[in-house]
Amino acid sequence: MKNFYYLWAATFLWAGLLAPPMAGLAAQSTPLLRQVQGGGLTLDQLIEIGLDNNSDIRIAERNLSGARAEKRGSYSGLIPSLRASFQKDMDPGKEYLNPITGSTVKPDVYGSRLSISQTIFDGVASWYDASSGQISVKSAERAFDGTRQQTVLAVKQAYYNLLSRLELLEVAEEALELSRKQLELVEERYRLQAVKQTDLLKARVSVGQREADAYNARQNLAVATTNINVIIGQDPAAPINVVRESVVLKQVPERTVALASLEKNNPSLGIQELAVAQARLNAKRQRGVLMPSVSLSYTANSSGPDFADIYNFDFENSSSTFLSFSIPLFTGLQNTSRYGRLRYVALAEEERQVALLRDLKRQLENTVSGLESLHRIYPINQSVLTSAEADVRLANEQYNLGAISILDLLDAQVSLITTRSTLVRTTYEIKIAEAQLAALMGTIGQ
């Protein structure tokens, strides 16, 4: 009876060690859904909502959980395997003749077998399987981190694009209001016959152009609003209010610093490096199949006419131990051809790594160069804006004195509008480029 309890205890213990923690997995994979409900949302809050609602992140999280669950199975070749079997004779009434004694005997009705086996050597394939499980988990972790970083990048790009469209709308509406006031002034002066009809027509044309600009700006803002709603997982038509945070331009990092960070932290490059390691490991494992294998097994049997006999093992007389030694002399060239193919797969993955690093360096160089150019242009745009504002003030005074035509005044106003719009675009192009550079360096989610 005691042996029976030991058998079942060992079986349930083994099952508990190999079973995945389903409760913990369910708790980790439950998505946190959040809705935008009034109030202004900061960039950090938008990122948090986007990370909570992004489907790609949930998929990456489940892939990571699956890789961790599969990793436990990769150690199966390094630990013993335990099996228990039970049998019952379905025709217990029959008898057999014992050829030695000449008497008839009834066979045992119930029987059981307990066996344990352990691989001693299999060409290091078991060790490679365990290492392969670790690489799979690391690759899934990198993929999960990469998905999070891409989500943060998408939210930042959408946020800065939304602010850019919002400020451009403000510029367009301010220009429209200025044009309308200018038209009222020209109409009044036209009634007094102080200006020509051509001045009135030009003022009306200017108002029409500014109305078209304001309409286009509203449409662009609506598109930007739809985009950011989709990215953070909300309904595209849902109203959203964001906090307009102060824009702080960061210094452009040194190329050597940026490159070192890319080679160390970029998720795509890290995933490809692990793909190379996995391919090399697969080739080494297949080479181990060509080597001899050694295993040890132990079996104990129990049988008898009563059900209680299935756990009365006689470990001295009804048990056996086997040491197996196997050599793959010839397998139809299957193993050698597979090893050759896996070796070339590893070489192909190495070439993909070289190509990917080269392409990432190209993207890094273009992004850094673009940022440097934008930083040189930015103070120029600020200086031009200051001059354009002074020019409009002077033009207004000159027009009121009759020193210049309305065309000259409108030209000054258009120049101011264009300069303001250019400065707004340059500002948020810098912020978007900063986010793209941080994504290449693998630091955007930190």
The residue length of the chain stands at 446
The full set of domains in the chain, from first to last, is: 2-11+49-77+122-292+327-441 (1.20.1600.10)
Asked whether the beta carbons of 221 and 167 are under 8 A apart, the reply is no
Using a pLDDT cut of 70, give the percent of the chain over it: 86
pLDDT of residue 387: 94
Residue 35, SS3 per DSSP: coil
Residue 25 CB neighbour total at 10 angstroms: 15
Asked whether the beta carbons of 442 and 267 are under 8 A apart, the reply is yes
Tell me the per-residue pLDDT of 328-385, one tens digit each, with 9 for 90 and over: 777 667 777 888 888 999 999 999 999 999 999 999 999 999 999 999 999 999 999 9
Where residue 173 falls among pLDDT bands split at 50, 70, 90?
very high
Tell me the per-residue pLDDT of 38-75, one tens digit each, with 9 for 90 and over: 458 999 999 999 999 888 889 999 998 888 888 777 77
Mean pLDDT score, 92-98: 62
What are the structure tokens assigned to 243, written together? 């906090």
Asked whether the beta carbons of 414 and 395 are under 8 A apart, the reply is no
* E strands present in 290-399: 293-304, 319-326
Whether residue 289 has pLDDT greater than 80? no
Measured between alpha carbons, how far is 343 from 290 in angstroms, rounded to an integer? 15
Measured between alpha carbons, how far is 81 from 299 in angstroms, rounded to an integer? 12
Measured between alpha carbons, how far is 357 from 263 in angstroms, rounded to an integer? 8
What predicted TM-score, i.e. pTM, was given to this entire model? 0.76
Which has more pLDDT, 38 or 124? 124
Whether residue 134 has pLDDT greater than 70? yes
